[in-house]
Homo-oligomer: A and B are copies of this chain.
């Protein structure tokens, strides 16, 4: 029932703030919990986001501080999440998120918030963790190689049948996303540029918000790839991938894997002027 707000990193915090305004609007009079579990400098991130969300008139903003699995199992953390209607995961290292909260009461509570219609939002590392399988590494300079170039790990599993990548065009990550899709075209590759997000209903589809593009890599049409070959250091080949670049307003339906367009302004109108 819930919505995921998946952000490609470096979302605007000081000007238009369209993506964070969208989040603030969804929170409304509810409670937003911010967790910088991904980061080794959680203090600074908390202060920055708290300021931004307060400026956007989110009245109830609370901090979830997790620096160990013990924190993710503590009654104190669960108290912070008690009334939460939305949770925001900052950037940092996606493995910090999953290794600290995976299979803990905090994780169960996130799933509960989401299942009961709340919003789980995440940027950068906080975006990657949304899917069942997540990218944690992979060379983005040069052509993608079959074999050791791709590093995957189990994510939080809130989004299904897709792998999400972030800082996408900025860090030239199309190769590694094509690599994941070549491994298994069941997976839809979704690459988010910076200051760009998808508002995702995992069983239906998503809408694009923000400045950049969302790359969708659909392997359903693929006819051939060498990804399963033995030779480890060869460049990867893949034929007939379908690629979409979607921008603000565009929607994507997951069941049919088809994009559709809407005016970019529709979202701005919906959110009203920047406060």
The stretch of A20-28, A105-113, A116-124, A230-238 in contact with B is A230-238
Q: Does A38 contact B (CB under 8 A)?
A: no
Q: Report how far A261 CA is from B224 CA in the complex, Å.
A: 9
Roughly how many angstroms separate A226 CA and B221 CA in the complex, as a whole number?
A: 24
Option from B194, B234, B245 in Cβ contact (under 8 Å) with A236: B245
For chain A, give the interface size range.
35 or more
Determine whether the beta carbon of A242 is less than 8 Å from that of B242. Answer: yes
Chain B residue contacts of A259, Cβ below 8 A: 224, 239-240
* A61 sits at the interface (CB 8 A): no
> How does the 8 Å CB contact mask read for A130-167 relative to B, with 1 for contact and 0 for none?
00000000001111100000000000000000000000
Q: From residue A268, how far is it (CB to closest CB) to chain B in Å?
A: 12
**Which residues of A238-259 have CB atoms within 8 Å of chain B's CB atoms?**
238-248, 250, 259
Q: How distant is the Cα of A254 from the Cα of B205 in the complex, in angstroms?
A: 36
Closest residue of chain B to A225, judged by CB?
B245
Chain B residues near A142: list those with CB within 8 A: 169-170, 193-194, 212
Partner-contacting stretch, out of A47-55, A75-83, A86-94, A172-180: A172-180
Q: Main secondary structure on chain A at its contact with chain B?
A: loop
Instruction: Answer whether residue A67 sits at the interface, using C-beta atoms and an 8 A cutoff.
Output: no
> How many copies of this chain sit in the oligomeric assembly?
2
**Residue A264 is within 8 A (CB to CB) of chain B in the complex:** yes
Q: How far is the CB of A191 from chain B (nearest CB, A)?
A: 10
Interface residue A196 (Cβ < 8 Å from any Cβ of B): yes
Q: A213 touches which one: B143, B193, B242 (CB < 8 A)? A: B143
A261-B227 Cα distance, complex, nearest whole Å:
13
Evaluate whether A212 and B235 lie within 8 angstroms (CB atoms) in the complex, with A142-B170, A169-B144, A226-B247 already known.
yes
A12 within 8 A of B: no
Q: How far is the CA of A241 from the CA of B243 in the complex (A)?
A: 5
Contact (A240, B242) CB under 8 Å given A144-B169, A193-B142, A247-B226 = yes
Indicate if the CB atoms of B242 and A236 lie closer than 8 Å: no
CB of A182, distance to nearest CB on chain B (Å): 9
Q: How many Å lie between the Cα of A240 and that of B252 in the bound state? A: 12
Q: Which residues of B contact A226 (CB under 8 A)?
A: 247, 261
How far is A176 from B11 in the complex, measured between Cα atoms in Å?
Answer: 23
Pick the residue among B170, B174, B196, B240 that contacts A174 (CB under 8 A). B174
Q: Does A71 contact B (CB under 8 A)?
A: no
Contact of A240 among B224, B235, B244 (CB under 8 A): B244
| A211 within 8 A of partner (CB) | yes
A88 to chain B, nearest CB (A): 23
Question: With A174-B174, A235-B248, A237-B250 given, can you name 12 additional A-B contacts, CB distance below 8 Å?
Answer: A142-B169, A142-B194, A144-B213, A172-B174, A196-B235, A224-B261, A234-B248, A236-B247, A239-B245, A239-B261, A240-B259, A241-B244
